[in-house]
């Protein structure tokens, strides 16, 4: 039952519409998938996404693949998947940083370990607490009328009643007006949050946050650059609207410092940026102990990456701000034969073996940059 091979591929998945962030507009999303195979031919799969190549964070798809192939795989071959904690500890000794790469490898090993035992992966993390998780949708067309129409339609479908708006690009005050018009249109039927993606300085934040707060916006995500913990602490202390830290919380060590210095009063969890499933559980524990609210973030993963994240989040206490695991809904196609399900304003936790979704090998081959890499 030991691991015999590790293969990594970069896929480019088209989206149903442009998805606009402060630093990049997504029309095609690069995701990295890993497959680990044991000596009996069983497979474990995982997915990690980045946004805009190098425009969002320090990891790029190409670097993730290269570092796994060259530096991480030798520490995985010949190991027993159920000892994924030891495997990742050994990797941490020999490979510094590379959190996205480590997350991808650990997740694939976990999927394989669970499939070898014919159990859902959440059983390896204490078992699920929730059958579904509240899920937000990002209104990112940039057109107020279209965003209002989209929000009302998803409320009618009972698909989403939490909406996020990306407001880091363009004129800040016009963006604030855009948000308040949407808030007025949906009223108390929905909860609105905004994500600045680090685009403001502290002066701009102090101009905009009071207006958003008075307008009923329920949370402000990463208004300042990730390095500016002191500025984030001042904002969190000054305003009653929750200030959420995302790009500033990229490791369990950073989350500890954010908690200690109150550099925000809530934390966005993400498997890739934190370094894996185990690390996310550790991060959530630190935040919970410090009384910080939790938010289940996304890097726009497809069904595979979303399933693995949903399963992990299902083992945690309720997240104060819900999740934004809408990724599968943004893609034109899926790389799995069964889909993650969305209903009644929730994303449903898959219950099958491993992460509960089965990879479509032909689709992986179709969208892969390098053909035949997973043969």
For 348, the token pair is 């449903």
**Cα–Cα distance for residue pair 190/175, rounded to 1 Å:** 19
| Burial class of residue 317 in the structure, from the number of CB atoms within 10 Å of its CB (0-12 exposed, 13-18 middle, 19+ buried) | exposed
Q: Residue 61 in 3-state DSSP?
A: helix
Which residues lie closer than 8 Å to 110 by C-beta, 6 or more apart? 44, 46, 81, 84, 121, 124, 277, 308, 354
Contact 315, 126 (CB under 8 A): yes
Give the Å distances, CA to CA, from 66 to 9, 71, 88, 96. Answer: 10, 8, 18, 14
**Cα–Cα distance for residue pair 113/86, rounded to 1 Å:** 13
Say which residue the tokens 């969305």 belong to: 342
Q: Any idea which residues carry the catalytic annotation?
A: 166
For 94, the token pair is 């020999």
Residue 54: CB atoms within 10 A of its CB come to 15
């Amino acid at each position: 039952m030991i691991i015999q091979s590790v293969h990594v591929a970069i896929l480019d998945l088209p989206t149903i519409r442009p998805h606009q962030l402060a630093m990049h507009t997504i029309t095609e999303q690069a995701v990295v998938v890993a497959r680990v195979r044991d000596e009996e031919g069983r497979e474990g799969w995982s997915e990690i996404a980045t946004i805009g190549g190098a425009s969002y964070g320090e990891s790029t798809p190409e670097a993730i693949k290269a570092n796994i192939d060259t530096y991480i795989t030798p520490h995985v071959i010949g190991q027993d998947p159920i000892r994924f904690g030891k495997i990742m500890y050994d990797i941490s000794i020999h490979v510094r940083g590379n959190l996205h790469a480590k997350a991808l490898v650990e997740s694939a090993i976990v999927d394989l370990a669970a499939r070898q035992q014919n159990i859902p992966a959440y059983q390896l993390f204490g078992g699920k607490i929730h059958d579904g998780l509240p899920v937000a949708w990002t209104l990112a067309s940039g057109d107020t009328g279209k965003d209002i129409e989209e929000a009302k339609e998803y409320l009618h479908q009972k698909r989403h009643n939490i909406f996020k708006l990306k407001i880091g690009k363009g004129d800040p005050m016009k963006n604030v007006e855009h948000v308040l018009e949407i808030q007025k249109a949906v009223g108390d039927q929905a909860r609105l949050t905004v994500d600045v993606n680090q685009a403001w300085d502290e002066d701009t934040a102090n101009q905009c946050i009071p207006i958003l707060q008075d307008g009923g916006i329920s949370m402000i995500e990463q208004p300042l650059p990730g390095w500016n913990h002191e500025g984030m602490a001042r904002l969190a202390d000054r305003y009653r609207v929750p200030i959420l830290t995302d790009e500033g919380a990229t490791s369990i060590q950073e989350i500890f410092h954010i908690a200690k210095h109150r550099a925000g009063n809530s934390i966005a969890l993400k498997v890739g940026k934190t370094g894996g499933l185990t690390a996310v559980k550790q991060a959530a524990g630190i935040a919970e102990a410090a009384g910080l609210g939790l938010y289940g973030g996304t890097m726009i993963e497809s069904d595979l990456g979303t399933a693995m994240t949903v399963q992990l989040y299902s083992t945690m206490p309720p997240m104060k701000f819900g999740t934004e695991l809408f990724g599968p809904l943004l893609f034109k196609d899926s790389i799995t034969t069964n889909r993650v399900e969305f209903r009644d304003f929730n994303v449903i936790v898959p219950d099958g073996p491993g992460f509960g979704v089965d990879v479509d090998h032909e689709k992986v081959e179709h969208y892969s940059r390098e053909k035949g890499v997973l043969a």
